[in-house]
Structure 1
């Protein structure tokens, strides 16, 4: 985890705020500002969005820290670490509704604050990695006339139509079965069928698209490809036989 992460301090006790700022600077973090009043928080964030906000719950004024966080979360997704000298159940339950990343009770030791921030940064990185993985996984494949480019880790891999044995639906996913391996697509079978431009791939069942070139047997209610029996819908059998003649 790299340092120089940015932190905004919202604390109305300026001596405490200055001490926190000094500790954070010594730890290698960048303090984007010290805000003593709830009404000034959104204005400060609009100037520079911090990586983390240290939020005192018991702010002086019309709004407390929890109410400020609710306002922040309407516009921003910024991890919150609460600072509080009041650990009663009512405060905790209200704060819990905002899904904070940590609580640090006053008075706190430097190590307590350091660990809370480090754990928050680890969680932020984990969430970013998860989001990145989901974005990669959900990227739609490129379906061309002779191949399909599918996502594999951090790259797009070419899968030749000629190597595809059949495509099987699994809820909102599809699995491409090839001669040597399988590929998972976050795409429905219906969407794949609509985008296919190959004359050799044909849907023969609600859950299967097959490669006509690899069919070994055609039975009354199934076909066989690579020793696997694949169901054949009665209403699609005629369509299959017509396409077989053209392949």
Structure 2
């Protein structure tokens, strides 16, 4: 049996924290502790370092969740998943500076928690393998007319094309951003561009391929998909506009 992923819960609403702990145990994870304050979380991390920090943004102590993450990152590299009941732009932009692995909006379902943690584990594993100079095994990508099959954790996962927002280059890898998940693939963006059906996708930048149907806004220097502003130059913008006229 594999080693369990260790998770520290930092949440000042004890009923919510206890419920999260129960769900994590049911999902097969190990809860290293439940603490209500950022200061206590920093002390806990020194004595028993978790694999993932499940962190409420709106803590009532001296440090809020974002300040706790910043303090933690001075000494530890622990993936952070934020819990929040407040998803306004100010909180989101502050939280982004800590490069979290996920956000879970309250109230949330067990599936939301499960997906956020699985994604974090997948990202961390891919990062470790990349740093070690190796690639995930059996990571071949299959592109069909209406979906892509990608290696995720220990299985091949079907990702419908309609759910893909955009694809971003990451050195010799590329990362698919879908409506509810991220996938790191061992393939360059150039090779991915060759495989994708051109009627759905457009390489808008050297680092980005977009799903044309997911465009929310076309501005002077960028387009918007989801919450992501992706740069585009004048010549490619003209090509994109012509493509949109033919759809």
TM-score normalised per structure 2: 0.53
The residue aligned with 1:65 is 65
Deviation at 1:3, TM superposition (A): 6.0
| Structure 2 CA distance for partners of 1:83 and 1:3, relative to 1, 3 Å | farther
- Report the 3-state secondary structure (helix = DSSP H, G, I; strand = E; otherwise coil) of the residue aligned with 1:78: coil
| Cα displacement string for residues 124-181 of structure 1 (whole angstroms, at most 9, x for unaligned residues) | 10011011117xxxxxxxxxxxxxxxxxxxxxxxxxxxxxxxxxxxxxxxxxxxxxxx
Unaligned runs of 5+ residues in structure 2 are 135-247
Deviation at 1:27, TM superposition (A): 0.4
The residue aligned with 1:137 is none
Deviation at 1:49, TM superposition (A): 0.7
Unaligned runs of 5+ residues in structure 1 are 135-247
TM-score normalised per structure 1: 0.53
Deviation at 1:61, TM superposition (A): 1.9
- Report the 3-state secondary structure (helix = DSSP H, G, I; strand = E; otherwise coil) of the residue aligned with 1:33: strand
The residue aligned with 2:103 is 103
Residue pair 1:3, 1:29 contacting (<8 A) in 2 also: no
Deviation at 1:38, TM superposition (A): 1.4
RMSD between aligned residues = 1.4
Where does structure 1 differ by over 6 angstroms across 4 or more consecutive aligned residues?
none
| Cα displacement string for residues 105-138 of structure 1 (whole angstroms, at most 9, x for unaligned residues) | 000000000000001000010011011117xxxx
| Cα displacement string for residues 178-197 of structure 1 (whole angstroms, at most 9, x for unaligned residues) | xxxxxxxxxxxxxxxxxxxx
The residue aligned with 2:40 is 40
Deviation at 1:39, TM superposition (A): 1.4
Deviation at 1:93, TM superposition (A): 0.1
Structure 2 distance, partners of 1:124, 1:18, is 26
Deviation at 1:4, TM superposition (A): 1.1
| Structure 2 CA distance for partners of 1:2 and 1:124, relative to 1, 3 Å | farther
| Cα displacement string for residues 176-226 of structure 1 (whole angstroms, at most 9, x for unaligned residues) | xxxxxxxxxxxxxxxxxxxxxxxxxxxxxxxxxxxxxxxxxxxxxxxxxxx
- Report the 3-state secondary structure (helix = DSSP H, G, I; strand = E; otherwise coil) of the residue aligned with 1:133: coil
How many residue pairs get aligned? The number is 134
Q: Do residues 50 (structure 1) and 27 (structure 2) align?
A: no
The residue aligned with 1:92 is 92
